[in-house]
Structure 1
């Protein structure tokens, strides 16, 4: 997996950051560390009860770490964490739009959007919007979220960032332009890989369209991390995978170690003037030829916009064209 550089000292005072799926695992550690560095962090997830419990746990751990420097893993810049829950169900395009409107109504800036939430080996049933679950939750709803929050990101820059938590599994994706949701392939591992590859491809497409806008776009592989991703309710993980996760648990990264790559992409000032970078082990790395293929990127971009046409206004498209 390689060693990871620790996060350099950063002060995120006056920064506002949204982290999707921040109530557990990598998202939890990402949100907590960013809040400890001074940011106002929005925990965007489905369950208010789980989010509230997570926020309380963050604050408890923060108090313990503040009292004992030996426990600190990032430079703590605040006495109390500024963390807030907002409801977001990425399995519903309407919920995604409701989140957008609720966020805009608060009048908050948005300096970093961390698209962290995701599913792995999810259900076979389509979402209420009629899409394959991995395609919608991991990729399409995040695409919609980004599109509608672009004006806020632009006005909060320069240096605003969009960070998508992808996976090294993107390398196992296939390409079928007539079945981008992978509906004809019942292998949910392949569906997961495709959704993660789409996140990387989308990074390139978006970065190209946002050149000169002050919004930088990154994606990343957090490492093989021991989280609940493969064991959450409603996810049917093959027995062989469960065995691997159990037997190989000592080799897996902790959620914080996994979050380090997200933290570098979200806050490391070394990348203030960079965009379209894919991180692994907290450092920029190259990606494979399929993810870099511009023709495929454009096919995916156009297909995604077609899927979202009922939720995209002319103003949104003008925002993309105005950069």
Structure 2
């Protein structure tokens, strides 16, 4: 299944000039390092974030680090291609389906192409209260809103040209999920790590469902386990997690088994930009390489149950015309 710890293989010499990429949740952690690196490789990067203030602070920090890394090769983690970073904030609140649709409409109105849609934003250990749309919050933020975003932006991905990619940042925690067709959103599940893992299972199942429907379209779909990464999602001391999860997080920190955010971003960067994967699809990555999966996420019948359930959840936001594009 591939190692979860250690440093993944580094990126090859890549140039992305002329490409446009969206990274959700790009103001911190893995998303920040992903967005900065893709911009340093020459692409235009849209930081799709909920907070304009935090996104602008991230952009300023990216530009300062870029200047330093360009002036000192020892500080650079990649072969930098860009003289200046082309990064732009656009508001996206994945806790709101209306915000997700608005983002897609505003992106289309700008007339930008789209070479990579990198669905990175996520949450764990969120509140018990549902979103304003009435959905379990992890289900909506990690999975449902990204699904809606993909459907709305598929026409742009298809029109952009050869080798456009959708990258879903999943997690090894998909192995600690549950499949319950009577409780698809895990409203009745009290263990937040199981809830989180189930949303990550859904992302992988979505990859297979999309890849089947997009066969021959030259749009690739990948999912990624970034490793256990020292980011905000694992840093809170008041997380209402199970004893076993607390022991796991303590052990990975104490044994220095957690990756830093850049090393955590590497696997998603390979999926998003490494030309060796041109023309491939439905690959699950760990430690920067495709790996095998257990039977549950590969179960096509269950994938179709999830697909139909998801469309029912989104029936007010999805049209038949949109589904004809898939």
Is this contact kept in 1: 2:193–2:241, CA < 8 A? no
SS in 2 for 1:295: helix
Provide the residue aligned with 1:182 in structure 2: 186
Q: Output the CA distance in 1 between the equivalents of 2:260 and 2:218.
A: 33
Is this contact kept in 1: 2:6–2:259, CA < 8 A? no
Shift of 1:244: 5.0
Provide the residue aligned with 1:100 in structure 2: 104
User: Is 2:182 aligned against 1:203?
Assistant: no
Provide the residue aligned with 2:226 in structure 1: 222
Give matches, 1:1-323, under 5 Å: 1=5, 3-231=7-235, 236-238=239-241, 240=243, 241=245, 244-245=248-249, 248-249=252-253, 250-320=256-326
Q: Output the CA distance in 2 between the equivalents of 1:190 and 1:115.
A: 20
Shift of 1:248: 3.3
Shift of 1:157: 2.2
Unaligned runs of at least 5 residues, structure 2? none
Cα gap change, 1:202 to 1:239, in 2 (>3 Å): closer
Q: Output the CA distance in 2 between the equivalents of 1:243 and 1:197.
A: 23
Is this contact kept in 1: 2:6–2:257, CA < 8 A? no
SS in 1 for 2:220: strand
Q: TM-score scaled by structure 2?
A: 0.95
SS in 1 for 2:186: coil
SS in 2 for 1:176: coil
Cα gap change, 1:313 to 1:201, in 2 (>3 Å): same
Q: How many residues align?
A: 319
Q: Output the CA distance in 2 between the equivalents of 1:154 and 1:169.
A: 31
Runs of 4+ aligned structure 1 residues displaced above 3 Å come to: 230-233, 239-248
Q: Output the CA distance in 1 between the equivalents of 2:188 and 2:247.
A: 27
* C-alpha RMSD of the superposition: 1.5
SS in 1 for 2:151: helix
Unaligned runs of at least 5 residues, structure 1? none
Q: TM-score scaled by structure 1?
A: 0.96
Is this contact kept in 1: 2:205–2:298, CA < 8 A? yes
- Which stretch of the first structure deviates more once superposed, 180-189 or 53-62? 180-189
Shift of 1:247: 5.5
Shift of 1:66: 0.2
Q: Output the CA distance in 1 between the equivalents of 2:246 and 2:217.
A: 44
Q: Output the CA distance in 1 between the equivalents of 2:102 and 2:195.
A: 27
Cα gap change, 1:239 to 1:197, in 2 (>3 Å): closer
Is this contact kept in 2: 1:109–1:152, CA < 8 A? yes
Shift of 1:317: 1.1
Is this contact kept in 2: 1:14–1:38, CA < 8 A? yes
Is this contact kept in 2: 1:164–1:199, CA < 8 A? yes
Q: Output the CA distance in 2 between the equivalents of 1:209 and 1:157.
A: 17
